[in-house]
Amino acid sequence: MKKGIIYIILSGICFIIVNFFVKILGSENSETIIYDLQKYPPHELVLARCVVSFIISLFIIKKKKIKVFGENKKWLIIRGLSGTIALTIFFYTIHYLPIAIAATIQYLAPIFTIIIAMLFFKEKVKKIQWIFIFISFLGILFISLNKINLINEKASLTWIMLGLISAIFSAIAYNAIVKLKDTDEPITIVIYFPMVAIPIMILLCLFDFTIPKGIEWFYLIMIGVFTQFAQILMTKALHLGNTSEIIPFQYLGAVYAFLVGYFIFNETLNMITNIGISLVIIGVVVNVIIRKN
């Protein structure tokens, strides 16, 4: 197996570990997994993730003697702000939706990336791509209109819509990264996320903050550490192989999310919901392959 494929699979595993810690620290039904944990607001989890990422990124920047504030500041700020909004909303959806559904909706980001690139940057979209874009959104329709069994609760349509907004802002961040590839170092792009997010999250934490205790410090640090691992592994994967070969393996993350939700959080999804998730993944993966060929 190619190194790039191995790296992208490991990246997906790191991301699902992050999502697991976010879920147990914020979801009401996580008491059956680990007892006596405090519940943390999503913005505090974003803050913890960003503080760890900032420290690691700053160390690398200082070691390589790179400019902290970069060159193309306009697009660096856009990347940081859009990424902050996307991640904060995504952490909320992990709290209030089955983890498989939250992750799947987030995987629509490449679809929105294509649409934004077409509308604002005049990038051409092949006619056949619209078929698979439609298939992806058909999957979301299946998920949205169907009842989901999660401890006798319905998945909220509001949170599904917010998940779509999170995917849109992720797409804006991806387009910003494309704009920055010729002007700024990858680590500079990475550090702008926590640089923008930390002040905003601190303000939000003034109104709602939980003081960590005991093992919770470890869980919070792990969110930041495994996020950094995931980003580094994903970057290495994309540098080592053809994107159309590598990216489909990224969507194994949806399988990981389903397995974690089912076996750890007892999240039961019915057949219609599973069909919806499958349609989203098929539409996104095929679109990525068509776009890169």
- The whole-angstrom separation of Cα 253 and Cα 259 is 10
- The whole-angstrom separation of Cα 263 and Cα 152 is 17
Q: What's the mean per-residue pLDDT of the chain?
A: 84
pTM: 0.86
Confidence at residue 146, expressed as pLDDT on a 0 to 100 scale: 63
Higher pLDDT, 250 or 18: 18
Confidence at residue 68, expressed as pLDDT on a 0 to 100 scale: 87
How large is the average pLDDT for residues 120-149? 79
- The whole-angstrom separation of Cα 50 and Cα 227 is 9
For residue 274, give every residue at least 6 positions away whose Cβ sits within 8 Å of its Cβ, in sequence order, or none.
none
Q: What is the pLDDT of residues 147-156, one digit of tens each?
A: 554 443 455 7
Q: Would you say the C-alpha torsion 5, 6, 11, 14 has a positive or negative sign? A: positive
How large is the average pLDDT for residues 172-180? 85
Question: What's the domain count of the chain?
Answer: 1
Q: What is the pLDDT of residues 83-131, one digit of tens each?
A: 999 999 999 999 888 888 898 898 888 788 888 888 887 777 788 888 9
Higher pLDDT, 280 or 248: 280
Q: Examine the pLDDT at 166 and tell me if it is beyond 50.
A: yes
**Helix intervals (H) in the chain:** 3-26, 42-64, 73-96, 99-106, 109-121, 127-145, 157-180, 186-205, 216-240, 243-250, 252-263, 271-292
The SS3 assignment for 175 reads helix
Residue entry with tokens 């979801």: 27
Structural domain that includes position 175: 3-32+40-292
How large is the average pLDDT for residues 67-74? 90
- The whole-angstrom separation of Cα 107 and Cα 89 is 14
Residue 65, Cβ density class (10 Å: 0-12 exposed, 13-18 middle, ≥19 buried): exposed
